[in-house]
Chains A and B, each alone.
Chain A
């Protein structure tokens, strides 16, 4: 059973507009959430993270929102640029959980920025 779900395999957005990528999780022990960007033939690149004590974190064009009650997070990219075209992975971990010390990933969303 998937603990981190990205229900949109792909998303197409016009250049200059806002891209919103969504992620849902089921494990209430998760307390640290990250977004990674991946180009073909490269490893995932860290974008932005958020701790469960916050509900928003912003870094330049990227903002992550966390809704703990809904077990939902989203990544907003404003404005979207052609170089943003990539696969975006949502990931989560239970830092205080004491279990396996790794990230649980979603299947990714392929973001395509149209000129």
Chain B
């Protein structure tokens, strides 16, 4: 079972601030993902990575950016937060495409 950790769990911050959401996994999975979920809605893929130095945009357009300098670490950054960025952000990892993705507990972000 994958161990995947997200920090912070909750963040309330003002408009215009730069935010980095952290995601780390300890299982050595090459594939990592970021999803965004609004209350009562489905999860939407916003970024994914096949491995170190690989990043791709997902199905849902997002103003956030990601980086993958180390296998275990896949941070997401918002350069200038806006109220429209208020949402839950979930990170996941997997061994391969035909294996389950394992999720962290998410970061609930509120932009005032």
Contacts and interface: CB of A to CB of B under 8 A. Distances in A.
A105 B43 contact: yes
A103 interface: yes
Interface string A30-43: 00101010000111
Please tell me the size bucket of the interface on B.
20 to 34
Interface stretch (A12-20, A45-53, A69-77): A45-53
B42 A32 contact: no
B102 interface: yes
Interface stretch (B14-22, B66-74, B77-85, B103-111): B103-111
A97 B79 CA distance: 33
Contacts of A42: 105-106
Contacts of B102: 46
B97 A105 contact: no
Contact of B42 (A34, A46, A105): A105
Please tell me the size bucket of the interface on A.
20 to 34
Nearest to A34: B100
Contact of B58 (A32, A91, A100): A100
A103 B33 CA distance: 9
A95 B101 CA distance: 13
B12 interface: no
Contact of B101 (A41, A100, A103, A108): A103
A103 B50 contact: no
Contacts of B44: 105
A104 to B, nearest CB: 7
A101 B31 contact: yes
B45 A100 contact: yes
16 contacts: A2-B42, A32-B97, A32-B98, A42-B105, A43-B6, A43-B90, A43-B104, A44-B90, A46-B100, A46-B102, A89-B42, A100-B45, A100-B48, A101-B56, A102-B35, A105-B44
Query: What 6 A-B pairs come out closest when comparing CB atoms?
Result: A102-B45, A43-B103, A105-B42, A46-B100, A105-B43, A43-B105
Interface of A: 2, 4, 32, 34, 36, 41-46, 49, 51, 89, 91, 93, 95, 100-108
